[in-house]
Amino acid sequence: MKADLTFPPEMIRAIADEVAALLKPMLVSEPEIQDPIFTQEQLAVYLQVTERWVYERTRFNEIPFFKAGRLNRFRKSEIDRWIQGQSSPATAPAPSRIKIVR
């Protein structure tokens, strides 16, 4: 016994459009945001320091960088990890400037 599965072309198109709309988000992803790469000048702006400070840190290998030819370049993700490693927690509460008089 065969089933008769003939549909009008409009219905087939509507079904195909609906299936395509449902599958599209799964098949086409947004382009990945790549890890930005900074120049020495851009890194200085990002860290709010001078270019000389950045140069000195790279000269003594104190900050993560890589060479692009002869130029120093910095991956934002590595710089952010480096910043996290540089953070030091407060060990004692800040002294109060308010004197309590009794």
Q: Is residue 90 in some structural domain?
A: no
Q: Is residue 72 part of a domain?
A: yes
CA dihedral sign, ordered 21, 22, 27, 30: positive
Q: Assess if residue 67 is contained within a domain.
A: yes
Mean pLDDT of all residues in 59-70: 95
Query: Whole domain around residue 49: which residue ranges?
Result: 37-85
- The pLDDT > 90 percentage for the chain reads 48
Q: What is the DSSP letter of 48?
A: T
pLDDT confidence band for 71 (50 / 70 / 90): very high
The dihedral formed by the CA atoms of 83, 84, 87 and 89, expressed in degrees to the nearest 10: 170
Range 30-54 average pLDDT: 89
- Work out how many domains the chain is built from and give that number: 1
Predicted model pTM: 0.56
Residue 6 belongs to a domain: no
- Round to whole Å and give the CA distance between 23 and 80: 36
Residue 64 identity = P
Average pLDDT over residues 7-25: 83
